[in-house]
Chain A
Amino acid sequence: MFSLIENEVIKMISKKRLLFVFAILIVLISVFAYGQNQTQERTKAQLTQRMGITATDDWRKLADQQLIDMKNRLDSPYRGENSKASLRVRMEQLQYNLDQNINPLEQSAAKFTTRFMEQSIFLFLPLLIIMLAADMVSGESSSGTIKLLLVRNVPRWKILLSKYLTLIILEVIVLFFAFVLSVVISGIFFGFGGWFAPVATGFKVLAGKLDSTSVLNVPQWNYSLMVYSLAFFVAVVVGSISFMISVLVKSTAASIGIIMSTLVAGNFISFFLSDWKVTRYMFMVNLRLTDYLSGSFQPIEGMNMLFSITVLLGWTIASLIISFVYFTKQDILV
């Protein structure tokens, strides 16, 4: 099995597809980082103009003021538990900024790296995975080399499994590189710090509303780790589905086309047909897992982290079963 996986990795590297994925990552991250940098400069300029403070120097005064303000609001007996919790979290963050002398307006490599993945998880990351997964099997079908593999003294399921495991290895590599490249490139712009800054998480949906009673702060590195773990899960899900399409369809172009259009369609289906309940069982609308962490999701009754993960797991398992059954039974006529 090990030599089969080694074979697949050698093929993947020789095809230069992995290199292509890295190139895209480098270009995109650089553009993002540059853009973020510009935005930050503009925001600072605006603040200076509007409030008469120099963002770089006077932010402490502002933070102090906000902190006192929030403490007063927290003490007010008319506040609900919900808003008290979020106030407490906000205060902790401000206090941390003051203690560590970190301007909250400043970007950091840690913040950028996390945000980059949060923004990539539902479209950009899946696209990269599709580039790798969609021709793993169909590529061999269209070039006829699948025959070379299937007439060896190796059972078919082993060959497919080696391909699938290779895909998982590639997913890890892609995420690892996305992380490292984000850190390095954004670090050049914003400095390499920020890993211990507190980030709020733990949002819930109760009765169709965002509930923040159980919100708490976790260090940025911890939060990043969660985001990248979820991204890995999403990569596995999208990878498995593309893998299935790649088994079912004989041409690479068709398999990339099918899975890409599904993905893109999913992004506006969730927007247009949000009242149609069936759509929530589609894998495409459940990919924004990190939104559950940051509390930036549209609260829909019944949709939460557990629900989305269950739906995605269902898709993954179904894809794998279909792939393996079809691949081991099919007649190879190419």
Chain B
Amino acid sequence: MQQPAVLELANLRKTIKGKEIVKGVNLTLNPSQIFGFLGPNGAGKTTTIRMIVGLIKPTEGSVTICGYSVAHNFVKALSNVGCIIESPDMYKYLTGMENLLQLAAMDKKISKQRINDVVEMVGLQHRVNDKVDTYSLGMRQRLGIAQAIMARPKLLILDEPTNGLDPAGMTEFRKLIRKLAYEDGMAVFVSSHLLLEIQQMCDVVSIIKQGSVITTTLVQDILHDDKIEWQLNDPEKAITLLREHWNIVAVRLKNDTISADIGQHSLDKLNEFLIREGIALTYCSTKQHTLEDLFLDLTVGDEIV
């Protein structure tokens, strides 16, 4: 029998105060998959996550974690989840260790040894007995990650996890996430508006805008999609020619620069064609499509709702 997906969202919708914030999100997450949930501020990322972990009830649709419905079998579903929602809020009047002990006490299967292990994993061993009051945001983030992975969940949900981490901390964090996913088989759900972060860390990315998922793709596919930039003397003519003869949609970037996705066409042939048509090429470059381009293409110009 096939194992059920770690996370399945079916037509998830949420209306708060007459405003539809999440408009029918469908997602499937498999074990060992690092999933990026990318969207501008106010796109409905956190609302979606809150519905996944049962903090708010969906207006419509369902959340299933490891085969258990969050609405009908909350305890079993949530046994498989570790998460940080929005910010790593901890009890400030307790020490880091006391915080972890509090939360570990709610789940019988977490041993003292495991707590010490995760503290070491997130690199907090020297400060864990200080009050959280004295922690920097980055340290609280680490503590948040520690409490999320403490129970060895099958699904790890991290909302803006690298907020406040220094560059070294981010690298460590990426390493840790990869280890958890590829060695321990966790499915990791990372929400972020930091494109580079998602690009460097995730296997699959969904871009959400105004409550709807616009696209879901493998990150490597985006990266392989080549984009060409030409610097030439007559951009208007070049755009027309490319459209009429090659069915390529080019856009003008600057005064003398155009750019286009050439897909399967050969760049040599295109250049030959343009020169034959009397256009003087000054410069031509292949630009790797970054996630940022895709993200901006899809979301630019939209106001935050």
Which residue numbers of A lie inside 8 Å of B, CB to CB? 3-4, 6-7, 10-11, 14-16, 143-145, 147-155, 329, 331-333
Contacts and interface: CB of A to CB of B under 8 A. Distances in A.
A6 B105 CA distance: 9
B89 A331 contact: no
Given A14-B98, A152-B103, A332-B56, A147 B91 contact: no
A332 B55 contact: yes
Given A149-B106, A151-B83, A151-B85, 4 more contacts: A10-B94, A152-B103, A153-B78, A154-B75
Nearest to A144: B89
Contacts of A155: 74-75
B179 interface: no
A331 to B, nearest CB: 4
Contacts of B53: 151
Interface string B56-80: 1100000000000000001110110
B246 interface: no
B57 A331 contact: yes
B54 interface: yes
Contacts of B75: 153-155
16 contacts: A4-B105, A4-B106, A10-B94, A14-B93, A16-B93, A150-B55, A151-B55, A151-B85, A152-B78, A152-B106, A153-B74, A153-B107, A154-B106, A155-B74, A331-B50, A332-B56
Contact of B92 (A143, A150, A329, A331): A143
Interface of B: 16, 50, 53-57, 74-76, 78-79, 81, 83, 85-87, 89-94, 98, 102-103, 105-107, 147
Contacts, number: 76
B56 A148 contact: no
B35 to A, nearest CB: 18
A332 B98 CA distance: 24
Contact of B102 (A11, A147, A153, A332): A11
A333 B103 contact: no
B114 to A, nearest CB: 16
A16 B147 CA distance: 25
Given A10-B98, A331-B56, A3 B105 contact: yes
Contact of A11 (B83, B89, B91, B107): B91
